[in-house]
Each structure stands twice: as structure tokens, then as C-alpha cells.
Amino acid sequence: MSRIRTAAFAIVAVLLPLPAGAAEQVNVYTYRETKLVQPLFEAFTKDTGIAVNVISASSGLEQRIKAEGDKSPADVLLTVDIGRIDEAVQAGITQPIGSAVIDETVPPRYRDPKGHWTGISMRARVIYAAKDRVKQDAITYEELADPKWKGKICIRSGQHIYNNALFAAYVAKHGEAKAEEWLRGLKANLAQKPSGGDRETARDVAAGKCDIGIGNTYYWALMMNNDPDKKPWAEATKVILPTFAGGGTHVNLSGVLLAKHAPNKANGLKLIEWLAGEKAQQIYADANYEYPIRPGVPLNPTIASYGKLTADSLPIAEIAAQRKTASTLVDKVGFDN
């Protein structure tokens, strides 16, 4: 059976010092860069007096927590993408959050029906289109398999977790047979072998190697605002929010889970609930260029410039349930070959 491939990298531990006089603490394992989440945790400590100790890694945190067993210091796992969220649950390292605050704040489709995870922000899988060559401002995901785009699409590996989630959403929407047909059509329209990341996709669109590429919303904002070397790639492209036919734009999550053997469970719950609050949502949205999960929180101006996001109504848990099928189809059609 095909499997979803993830790279293995060394774990880097970054422990934030315990503030003087702080009697309480919470231990967070995270896939986000420490510099991106540290302002968030500093604000939490200021509000609650609870110190946050952080271990950051690019991969392998689920395996680490599982190996640590009931001696694991992890209280909370802060992660990205439904793929990693689901992998943590399947590894048996989580427990139900059981928070009325989360249930009241986070829309049901962005929470685990069994309570093991909740989203705290969203990103959309969108189109980076060449400003000078693509005149249309609306595209459906289904349309990506239309022969009119033959030789004009760039994308990273079909087995990458971001694309796996999109393909899984297509399976959930249309069924396995139609998803396979669509993937074959999308593959036939590729300008080159899937490679690189979302930034490189924008680079190749800007260079004229393709007219449209598929990427996450926040990468474009990061290139435009935070990376002068890559800003020309963003300036040469525009972001189009695609939709499913009769539906909305595919979104994925940054999510948080409560560790099964959390030694500071009460503080872990306080952090999870705080992350869903207005202050944290605004900090997180601005630091990471993501969409707040909490209704009514203002968008970062760059993200707002993409236009109104109408997120698809498909529950994220239903997408997670189709991940293995999507991965199998990628191999079956030879998408990355």
C-alpha cells in the first residue's frame, strides 16, 4: 500500500527560560519556528503567569512523544496541516481536550468530532497566477484538469502533506474514481515534474515556466513582506482563491492537541483555550499570515487583499479520512514521475 511520505530531520530543542517568580509552566512541542511562536507564548505568560517551555522541530515530534511514553514532558503539540494532526492522533499520543470554551469558539468543522484536536488558524490552498498571462480571476479546482492548461501548471510533490490534503478533499467531494480521473488530467497539464516547495512554484511562474501554480496563502505573503530576495516572485503573480464547483475554497489548519500523558494538563488546557481567544488569534494571524479560526477577528491586510475567502464546508475530519486514498492515487497515476 502507498503511504504518505514525510522527511525525517533532526529535532532541535529550544527551551524558553522560566521567568523569575513563575510557579507554573506548560511544555509545548511544536513544528512552528520558535521565532514565530515566541511572541504568542510571551503574551500568554504575561496574561496568565504560566511559563512556556518549547521544543521545536521540523518533523518527528509524534514519534518522540510516543517513545517518551508516560514519562513524556509534552503537554501540548502545536502543529500544521491535517496530515500531521491526524498522524498524532493515529500514534495514540493525544487525549480529548474536553473544553466548553473550544466547543463554543471553534466552528465544528474545524474540530475533531472526538475532541482530540482543534484548529487555531487556517490556510488556503490557492493559485499563484502570472499577472501578465492569466486574465481570469476565478478558477475551480476541477478546472485544473482542463486541457486548456496543458503545459501551464507547476506544483510541488503530490505526496507532500499540503497537496495530499487537497487531493483528499477532492476524493471526499467527488469519490475515488473521479479523483483519479482528475489527478490524471492535472498531471497531463503539468509544465514540469513536481518539485521544490510553494515558493519555488511562485518562482517558476514568475520565470515563465508555467502560468499558474498551486501554493498556500501564507507563502505569498511571506515572499511579499518578509523576503526581499523573493519579493519579485510575488510581485509577478496574483493570488486567486479557487473553489470546488458548487463549493468553497479548500482550507487546512494549524492545530493544537493535548498530549496523552500531559504532566501539566490544566495549564495545557489553559493554553489551548487562550490560543482561541481574540488576542492570540490576532497575534497568530499577523505573525504567520493565516486566517483566524475565531469568527470576527480581523485579517492581516495582505491576506485580506486576496479577496473574500469562502471556505469550503467540508469538515476537516472528512478530509483526514481520505488521506491514504489520496496518497495511493498519487502513486497509481504516477503523479510525481
- Please give the annotated binding residues, written as ranges: 218-219
Residue entry with cell 500568554: 44
Distances (CA, A) of 247 to 141, 148, 217, 242, 323: 10, 22, 18, 10, 20
Element (H, E) at 254: strand 251-259
Instruction: State the Cα–Cα distance between residues 54 and 21, nearest whole angstrom.
Output: 19
- Under DSSP, the state recorded for 285 is H
The binding site for Fe cation comprises 218-219
Closest CA to 220 of 283, 286, 306, 149: 306
Bridge partners (DSSP) of residue 80 are: 254
**What does the buried/exposed string (b/e) look like for 107-130 if buried means 16 or more CB atoms within 10 Å of the residue's CB?**
eebbbbeebbbbbbbbbbbbbbbb
Residue holding cell 486574465? Answer: 135
d(C-alpha 168, C-alpha 319), whole Å: 5
Give DSSP secondary structure letters for 109-136.
GGB-TTSSEEEEEEEEEEEEEETTT---
CA distances from 57 to 81, 84, 123 (A): 15, 13, 20
Answer whether 330's CB lies under 8 Å from 159's CB. yes
Among 224, 221, 244, residue whose Cα is nearest residue 232 = 224
Segment (H or E) for 153: strand 153-154
For residue 209, give the amino acid letter. K
